[in-house]
Copies of this chain bind each other. A is one copy, B any other.
Amino acid sequence: MANEAEKGVVGSRLRDGEYVSLLMELMGEHIKKVGRNINKDSVNKLVEDILNANAIFLMGAGRSGLVARAFAMRLMHLGLKVYVVGETTTPAVKRDDLVIAISGSGETRSIVSLARIAKEEIGAKLATITSNPESSLAKLSDTVILVEGKKADEISDVDYLERRMMGMHTKLTPLGTIFEITSLILLDSVVAELIARTGASEEELKARHSTLE
């Protein structure tokens, strides 16, 4: 169907409902490609950082902050001591803690500023999920996982097909959409890695899942 899209609909508008189908296929393809190209050493470093930390703090702004929370919730299910920066009962970060920042641009001001405090003033370990290896966050970090978002040239199929499909410059995956989706799936795959290494069972995870909801 991706081929049909490339051939058939250049410059024309799809029928109602067809964008959903096509976009899901494009995003699925993008995820697979990122999965094939992921740097296993960085992933292993992040996994070690997580398993060695006293406590883990997640942070991110906007939708990247939601991805941070989704990952934090699973780390809690795994029995780790984990907090989201900015939530009510999040304590002070200490020297032997790990702070994980999520930011596509790596330049979100509040996150860079908090990362600087965590790294330079407190001396905690800092890991970053970003699209931008040259960003302030990436440069500050001990561990960087590069997630190719919309700016990556080599994984440009979504952008490319979008433009062909529409015959115009409308952006169907606006702002950080591709980065956020890919980061969420990457981090859920890190959860799989943690489950495989620790041998955690679904029953154990379920027993820690909030009972008041």
The chain A residues found within 8 Å of chain B, CB to CB, are: 1, 13-14, 16-25, 27-36, 38, 40-41, 43-44, 47, 57, 59, 61-63, 66, 69-70, 72-77, 82-93, 99, 108-110, 113-114, 117-118, 121-122, 166, 169-175, 177, 180-181, 184-186, 188-193, 195-197, 199-202, 205-213
> Is B88 a contact partner of A87 (Cβ separation < 8 A)?
yes
Given A73-B88, A189-B27, A192-B172: A62 in contact with B201 (beta carbons within 8 A):
no
Docked-complex contact A62 and B210, CB < 8 angstroms: yes
A19's contact among B72, B75, B76, B189, by CB below 8 Å, is which? B189
B197 near A171 with CB under 8 A, answer no
Q: Which of B18, B66, B118, B188 contacts A177 (CB 8 A)?
A: B188
B-chain residues with CB within 8 Å of residue A177 when the two chains form the complex: 74, 188, 191
Contact A57 B88, beta carbon cutoff 8 Å = no
B208 and A20 contacting across the interface, CB-CB below 8 Å: no
Do B114 and A16 touch (CB < 8 A)?
no
Known contacts A92-B209, A185-B181; is A29 also within 8 Å of B28 by CB? yes
CA–CA, A199 and B170, complex, Å? 7
**Which residue of B has the minimal Cβ distance to A118?**
B212
Name 19 A/B residue pairs within 8 A (Cβ), A-sorted: A22-B35, A23-B35, A23-B188, A24-B186, A25-B31, A69-B88, A73-B88, A74-B177, A84-B87, A84-B89, A92-B210, A93-B211, A93-B212, A99-B212, A117-B211, A170-B199, A171-B195, A172-B196, A177-B191
